């Protein structure tokens, strides 16, 4: 019988994956955080609000109805929404206005006017899709 030859093929992509993964993940996290920020601000600034109309000084203001994103009045809420990167692949979308939790979740005297949760939920499918694409690429 003839001599047997052994062939061994090795493919070790771990170094490439280890190099690419943080960069790609960082991009996805950054894009998603800014998307949530944009959506939250847009929900407050746009769309017709259907709450009560009341007068404040010489101006009239149309409030949001329960379940709608808050209606903008002074711009303080929108201007207090931002993004903070807390690590290479971590971000926080924050609201600095002290009354934001009352609007988001409601109080004993006021129904919720959520704006952050809907923004995050709307951004979730794209975020998960991007992570799945990344997994396939690597």
pLDDT value at residue 1: 61
| Radius of gyration for the alpha carbons in the chain, expressed in angstroms and rounded | 24
pLDDT value at residue 135: 85
Q: Which residues contact 82 (CB under 8 A, 6 or more apart)?
A: 37, 93, 94, 96
Of 53, 95, 104, nearest in space to 77 by CA: 95
DSSP for residue 74: S
pTM of this prediction exceeds 0.75: yes
Tens digit of each residue's pLDDT, the chain (138 residues) = 667 788 776 677 778 888 888 999 999 999 999 999 999 999 999 988 999 999 988 989 899 999 999 999 899 999 999 999 999 899 999 999 999 999 999 999 999 999 999 999 999 999 999 999 988 887
Kindly tell me the number of DSSP H helices and DSSP E strands found in the chain.
4, 4
Instruction: Dig out the tokens for 34 from the structure.
Output: 């800014």
Domains of the chain, by residue range, sit at 18-46+61-137
pLDDT value at residue 58: 92
pLDDT value at residue 66: 96
């Amino acid at each position: 019988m003839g001599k047997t030859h052994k062939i061994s093929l090795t493919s070790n992509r771990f170094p490439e994956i280890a190099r690419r993964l943080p960069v790609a993940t960082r991009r996805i996290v950054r894009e998603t955080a800014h998307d949530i920020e944009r959506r939250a601000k847009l929900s407050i600034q746009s769309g017709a609000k259907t709450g009560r109309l009341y007068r404040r000084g010489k101006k009239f203001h149309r409030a949001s109805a329960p379940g709608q994103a808050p209606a903008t009045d002074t711009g303080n809420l929108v201007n207090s929404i931002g993004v903070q990167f807390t690590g290479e692949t971590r971000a926080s979308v924050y609201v600095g206005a002290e009354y934001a939790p009352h609007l988001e979740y409601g109080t004993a005297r006021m129904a919720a006017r959520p704006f952050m949760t809907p923004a995050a939920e709307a951004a979730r499918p794209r975020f998960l899709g991007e992570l799945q694409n990344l997994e396939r690429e690597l």
